[in-house]
Every structure is written in structure tokens, then in C-alpha cells.
Amino acid sequence: MDGMGAALRQDSALRHATGEAGFIDDLPEVPGLLHGALVLSPVAHGRIEALDPAPALALPGVVAVFGPGDAPGRNDISASGAAQEPLFAEHLVEHWGQAMALVVATDRDAALAGAAAITPVIHALPPVLELAEAVAARSLLMPPQVLARGDVVAGMAQAPLTASGSFRCGGQEHFYLEGQIAIATPGEDGDLLVLSSTQHPTEVQHIIARVLGCAQNRITVQCRRMGGAFGGKESNASWVAAAAALAAHATGRPVKLRLTRKADMAATGKRHPFLFRWTAGFDATGRIAALEALLAADGGHSLDMTPGVVFRAITHALNAYDVPALRIEALGCKTNTVSNTAFRGFGGPQGVLLMEEIFRSIAAATGLDVETVRAKNMAGGENGDETPYGQALDGKLIRRVHAEALAASGWVERRAAIAAFNAEHPTLRKGLGSFALAFGISFGVMHMNQAGALVHVYEDGSIRLNHGGTEMGQGLFIKVAQVVASAFGVPVERIRITATSTGEVPNTSPTAASTGSDLNGWAAHLAASAIRERMAGVAAEIWAVEAGEIGFEDGMVRAGGNRQMSFGELAHACIRRRVSLSATGFYKTPDIHWDPVAMRGKPFFYFSYGASVAEVVVDRLTGEHRCLGAWLVQDCGRSLNPAVDRGQIEGAFIQGMGWMTSEELYWDRTGRLRSLGPSTYKIPGSRDVPPVFVTRILEGSPARAETIFRSKAVGEPPLMLATAVWNALCDATGAVSLDLPASPERLLAAIRAGGR
């Protein structure tokens, strides 16, 4: 079976393995192609006094140098349009590694030498590097967001016990295998074809048109696949492509801009670091009555998508739990660091940390077990199951998913075995932790919840599929092809998957917020259904039956009795009868709304639920640790493709574990990022995968929302399941509060501070 629910490979899996899958840098270079390299700011903050291109232009092969004054349109790459964000720094540099100019040359080495030859003259100013300093100074990129419910003051005053705390989590580098890249090729009369490794071809198109000051119809942006993106190619791809486009436009020659890994890490945004401060009122049973919290996000130097990240953090701060009275304030802070951006989970992974630390504190204060406190405050049961912004959670399902994760891990016996191990072992400490997740699915910006598709059936019955979604390894293209194959009742091989292009499906949203298959799956289904209906009409005419009697199955079209023909024969018959076999499909998520002033509404079409258990072991002498086991249960609705979904669950968990344990971005006191490659920035490797790694797609999911074939999004949520590793590390070391990443240094400090 290869329709819905079939465990098929990602469309290029084999070609990835053999190296045949083409990425932009693999394309043969056309004659006359120029290569670009960026001049990056050597200081974190300062006034630009001069940038002399002469030393670069004097080098062999260098053709031109472009700066902020060279944009025929606007030197503005703001994704939201809500603030001005320069393509090349103008007057002021605001972070170390900021793009100041682009050198183009006849080969890449010459371009890099040219960029290195330029020494901008900058009058240095004091930088703000610490998030806490930005919070204290109210250095903000955006108005604060406040989520409130009930009477917090009274709730806090009446609570028999209170506790307070603060902690922080770090950022995360996307570390996509394929770095940022674009090739811009001028065509006739000002046309530009841009190949971009982007999650958002439409934004690339729009921003290039803005920078060049031309109509959007001049610019065509294409992306066949990305070598990973993880949110890092949502807005950051746009400015990289805009720089290439600017140079192509000015020189009339094709321009390729591929960032070096170091430039990529220095100049492109990362996950937002967060600072949390909280006070909770609770009773001796561990039940929380009131909560006051501050969530501060480090947005870096410019706005980018920080409002969206802050929105997702604040709407996920209670996660799967219920607190009757609360006031949570969330800030998007400005510092002189790279502008932080989307990263798998988009503020959700940071938001959901809050309750975990509070549970540990309450457990320490009451002498209860963390799991008892967790259960006491979980949504549903005797507790409420409405989010503070007024959307219903499925408390029953949350409890069921969490219980299944505990059971899968053999929690009770494992606890006992760990206690026995720890009692016997002089230097090693094992720990166990769990986690439950309710992650909202939809873009927080309501109008972004739309998608389009374009389907053609040719005369031989072969089918060409195009839609606005992009493929970054997550398996979107095969899932949408499965949707179309099942609409036509043909094998999936009959569907030709094609590159995303603004020339085929216009005005699209980014492939992000895990909504790719929800949105594009529906759009493609609508397009395919429109064609199928016309085809059924023709078949009905041929056989003189009702259109409703026509069935599409196994590549055949049938109408009872022995009336049948192949799908290709019917396609041929349609052409002969002058019936169009091409259709667009358009989908917008129904039933979502948000009031940003009241901070209330139903912003999410539905929630994705998941739960996890992790077991770790920590070396008390070195602080080193390993995750020994992980048991994950993820609600995928009726999975469109369990093989792809399982890959997403496993990959996301490991990426989340990397963020929480080994990946540390290190800025020195001058604001220079010192972790600029795999030697200084440790992403998880194959040996970090827990030796016991059990992932389970929830069986019999209620799948209530009208999603495509009742499937659920899976791209981001399982990243948060790695929070169980953090909890397990705290359990092993006895830490109540533990900043992330939980590096060996931090774990040692926790152990020294009186932990176990």
C-alpha cells in the first residue's frame, strides 16, 4: 500500500545516500558566474566611520564591492516589515559578525581574500551582551506581552507555601549540513531567477524585490530541497539571497553566495536564549494556586521574528498544566548579539521549561516526589483544562499519553533499580525524569495559515505536483505526494514531485510551525479532487452512469460491472473532450482567531501531545553524563507516514537533547562568538543516541480536528520531549535549579553545591 499511512521513504532518501540528490552548490557553474563573500563586523557595537573597498578591488579576480548605499530599492530585509533591519550595516554595527558589505569575484577564494582585505573603520561603543543587563535596562525590541488569568495577588496571599526561582537556557545554532546559499541569475529585461536554500521562497522573492526596488513579478525563487533548515532558513535565507541578487542585478552576471561555516555561524540568527524568574504559591499537596513569572528572550540586535517566538513561549509557559491564577510577562530583549530567529519549536522549547523547574522547587519544599507534583497540576481530572488564553486542552489525552510513556519505560521498576545502583556506586549517579507536552499547531500570525498547490495530470496519466511547501529533509514532499496519490487512486510513483517555485504557487507562507503537511496536504488534496471530479464527469459520460458511481483505485477507473479503464486512458479521453486536467488548490486553516490586545482566543487549530521518560547517568567526579534510555510517545493523529514521523520524533529528540546538554554558544567579553564550528560547538553525534531508544506513535489517537486524513503535525513537538533529559539530570544530581545547557561544568557545580 502506498497511499495514506504507508511507511514510505523520504522522497530523496536513496539519492541522499548515494550523493545523487542535487543541492545548490552541486549544480555545474555557468560561465561568467561570480562568487560572493561577506565583510563582517569585527566589533559588537560601534559607529561606522569608513569602509574602503580599494584594498579588495586591488586584488586579482575581485570585480566589485557592494554596501548599504548600493541597493536600488531599500537596504531593508525585515521579515515582518515591522521594523527596519539593514541588509548591510548602515552607520551603526550592532553585533560582531554583522554583514557590512559583499565582495564579488571570479572565484570563491578571490572573493574571500577580497573580504578579508577590507578593514572597516569603526568607533567602538559599549555593547550590551548580557540578557540580564538588557532586562534590567528594559532594552526591548518590542512591547512586552502579558498573559493573565484570575486574581494572582489573592491567590499568592492565600497560598500556604510560596517559592521563587530563576534560571536560564542558552541559544542553539541550527548547524544544518548545507549552509546558507543562493544563486541569482539575471534574465531578460530585469528578470531574476534565484535558487535559494530557503524555507520561505515567497519571502525571498518579496525581500529581493524590496531591495532591488522592482515588482515582485520580476523575481522567481526556486528551492528543490534543503540540506536541513530547522528554522534557520526561514528569515535568514532571505538576506543571503538578497545580497546575491543585488550583486547579480548590478553586474548583470550570475552570482553565487555560499557562506563559509564560520560566516554562517557568525552572521545568522540562532535559537533565543531565555531568562526566567518566577514565584509560585502552592499547598502541601503540591497543587499550585498562583504563579507570577517573567520570561525574557534574547532577541539579539534586531526584531526578526522575536514577537512570534515570545508569543509561542508565553502561550506554552503552562504547557500541559493548569494554574488557576497567573500573570506571566514576556519580553523580547535587545542585545548586541546576532539577531535570534526561528529554531524548531520557536519559543515553545523555552516556554515549557518553566513548569518543570517549578515542580522541582515545590517537590523540594514539600518533600513530595516531582512526579507527584506534576500529576497534581496536570490539566484535566480535577483540574481545569483550559489554557490561560481560553483554548481547551484535552486533559484526558495528556494524562493518557504521559501514562503510556511512564509504562513504556517501566517507571516503577526502573526507579527502584536506579535507587539500588546509586546506593552501591561511589562515583556514578543515575537519574530518571519524565515530561508531558501540549504543543499548539498553527502559525501565531493568523494570516500565515494558508497554502496553495498546483496539480497537472498529463495525457498519459502521469501527474505533476507542486505546492508552496519546501523540503528540508522532514519528508513533506513524500507526504503530500501520498495525499495526491490517494486522491487519484494511483501508486505514488505516478506523482512527479517538483521544486517549490514562486512562479508556480505564489504568495505562500514559510514551511514552518510544523504546519507543512497540514496546509500543503489540504491544498494539494483540493487541487487533485477538482481534477478528479472533472475526470469522473468524463467517465460517467462515456459509460452513461452517474458521476457518483465512478471509483478511482489501483491506477484504474471503475463504474461497477466490467466497466473499467486505466487512469491514463481516462486522462487521454479528457483531453479529447477538451476537459482541463490542471487545477490549483487553496487552503486556509478554519476556526482559528486571536485577540492580541486581550491575549485571548483560539490561536491553534489543535494541540500535538507527547510525553517522554529519560534515564541518565552522571559522573560525580567530572560532571560528564550520558542518556542511557529514552521512551517517547508522540500523538501523530492518524500518521500520514509512520516511517517519516518516526524519523522526525527521533531526530527532534536528539536535537533537543543537544540543545539542553552539549551545545553551548560562547561569546567572549567583547561580544565575539568563539564557538564557530564543530571543534568548539558540540552537536550530538551518533554515539550520543541513547542505547535504549524507544519511540512510539500513539495508537488510537482521537484526532478530532479536521486535518488532512486526520493526521497531526510532528516536525517540532518531539524536540521538547528531550526536556525529560534535563529532569533526569536534576534527579541524578539533586539539583533543583539547573541552567541549560547542562554542561559537565554546570553539573559539577550542581554536585559541589550540595547535590548528590
Q: Does 230 bind ligand MTE (CB under 6 A)?
A: yes
648 touches, from ligand MOS, ligand MTE, none (C-beta below 5 to 8 Å by class):
ligand MTE
User: What is the nearest approach in angstroms of ligand MTE to the Cβ of residue 87?
Assistant: 24
Q: Does 306 bind ligand MTE (CB under 6 A)?
A: no
Q: How far apart are CA 680 and CA 677, in angstroms?
A: 6
517 touches, from ligand MTE, ligand MOS, none (C-beta below 5 to 8 Å by class):
ligand MTE
User: What is the nearest approach in angstroms of ligand MTE to the Cβ of residue 575?
Assistant: 34
User: What is the nearest approach in angstroms of ligand MOS to the Cβ of residue 449?
Assistant: 13
User: What is the nearest approach in angstroms of ligand MOS to the Cβ of residue 229?
Assistant: 6
User: What is the nearest approach in angstroms of ligand MTE to the Cβ of residue 282?
Assistant: 35
Q: Does 472 bind ligand MTE (CB under 6 A)?
A: yes
Q: Which is nearer to ligand MOS, 75 or 180 (CB)?
A: 180
Q: How far apart are CA 260 and CA 49, in angstroms?
A: 27
Q: Does 24 bind ligand MTE (CB under 6 A)?
A: no
* Helix (H/G/I), strand (E/B), else coil: 336: coil
Please, is 461 exposed, middle or buried when counting C-beta atoms within 10 Å of its C-beta (0-12, 13-18, 19+)? buried
Please, are residues 723 and 353 in contact by the beta-carbon 8 Å criterion? yes
655 touches, from ligand MOS, ligand MTE, none (C-beta below 5 to 8 Å by class):
none
User: What is the nearest approach in angstroms of ligand MTE to the Cβ of residue 234?
Assistant: 8
Q: In sequence order, which residues have a C-beta less than 8 Å from that of residue 217 and are 6 or more positions away?
A: none
Please, are residues 56 and 120 in contact by the beta-carbon 8 Å criterion? no
Please pick, from the candidates 231, 388, 431, 440, the single residue that binds ligand MTE as defined by CB under 6 A: 231
Please pick, from the candidates 306, 514, 639, 723, the single residue that binds ligand MTE as defined by CB under 6 A: 514
AA identity, residue 754: G
Q: Does 474 bind ligand MTE (CB under 6 A)?
A: yes
Q: Does 658 bind ligand MTE (CB under 6 A)?
A: no
- Bond preceding residue 741 cis, omega within 30 of 0: yes
Q: Which is nearer to ligand MTE, 345 or 388 (CB)?
A: 345
Q: How far apart are CA 144 and CA 121, in angstroms?
A: 36
User: What is the nearest approach in angstroms of ligand MOS to the Cβ of residue 228?
Assistant: 11
* Helix (H/G/I), strand (E/B), else coil: 192: strand
Q: How far apart are CA 375 and CA 271, in angstroms?
A: 30
Quick note: the x/- pattern for ligand MTE over 333-362, rule CB under 6 A, is -----------x------------------
Q: Which spans of this chain sit near ligand MOS (rule: CB under 6 A)?
A: 199, 231, 234, 342-344, 346, 512-513, 716
Q: In sequence order, which residues have a C-beta less than 8 Å from that of residue 542 and are 6 or more positions away?
A: 573
Q: Candidates 149-157, 417-425, 436-444, 511-519 — which segment interacts with ligand MTE by CB under 6 A? A: 511-519
Map the footprint of ligand MTE across residues 671-730, applying CB under 6 A: 713, 715-716
Q: Which is nearer to ligand MTE, 16 or 415 (CB)?
A: 16
Residue whose beta carbon is closest to ligand MTE: 516
Instruction: Report phi then psi at 159, rounded to 5.
Output: -70, 130
What value does the CA radius of gyration of the chain take, rounded to a whole number of Å? 27
Q: How far apart are CA 633 and CA 698, in angstroms?
A: 6
Q: Does 476 bind ligand MTE (CB under 6 A)?
A: yes
Q: Which is nearer to ligand MTE, 432 or 708 (CB)?
A: 708
Q: Which is nearer to ligand MOS, 342 or 480 (CB)?
A: 342
Vertex 632: Cα angle to 629 and 638 (nearest 5): 155
Q: How far apart are CA 315 and CA 604, in angstroms?
A: 10
Distance of CA 26 to the CA centre of its chain: 25
337 touches, from ligand MTE, ligand MOS, none (C-beta below 5 to 8 Å by class):
none
304 touches, from ligand MOS, ligand MTE, none (C-beta below 5 to 8 Å by class):
none
# of chain residues touching ligand MTE (CB under 6 A): 21
Alpha-carbon separation of residue 391 from 191, 274, 346, 387, 584 (angstroms): 47, 25, 20, 5, 33
Spatial strand order in the sheet of 325-333 = 145-149, 325-333, 288-298, 274-282, 161-169
Vertex 245: Cα angle to 239 and 250 (nearest 5): 130
Q: Does 743 bind ligand MTE (CB under 6 A)?
A: no
Would you call 716 a catalytic residue per the annotation? yes
Catalytic residue, chosen from 664, 699, 716, 745, is 716
Alpha helical stretches, state H, 260-352: 261-267, 306-315, 348-351
Please pick, from the candidates 434, 515, 589, 612, the single residue that binds ligand MTE as defined by CB under 6 A: 515
* Helix (H/G/I), strand (E/B), else coil: 80: coil
Q: Candidates 51-59, 468-476, 588-596, 618-626 — which segment interacts with ligand MTE by CB under 6 A? A: 468-476
User: What is the nearest approach in angstroms of ligand MTE to the Cβ of residue 6?
Assistant: 17
Q: In sequence order, which residues have a C-beta less than 8 Å from that of residue 136 and are 6 or more positions away?
A: none
Q: How far apart are CA 114 and CA 262, in angstroms?
A: 16
Q: Does 441 bind ligand MTE (CB under 6 A)?
A: no
End-to-end C-alpha distance for the chain, whole angstroms: 53
473 touches, from ligand MOS, ligand MTE, none (C-beta below 5 to 8 Å by class):
ligand MTE
What is the CB neighbour count within 10 angstroms for residue 732?
A: 27
Q: Which sequence positions are flagged as catalytic? A: 716
Interface residues with ligand MTE (CB under 6 A) are 228-231, 344, 472-474, 476, 511-517, 648, 651, 713, 715-716
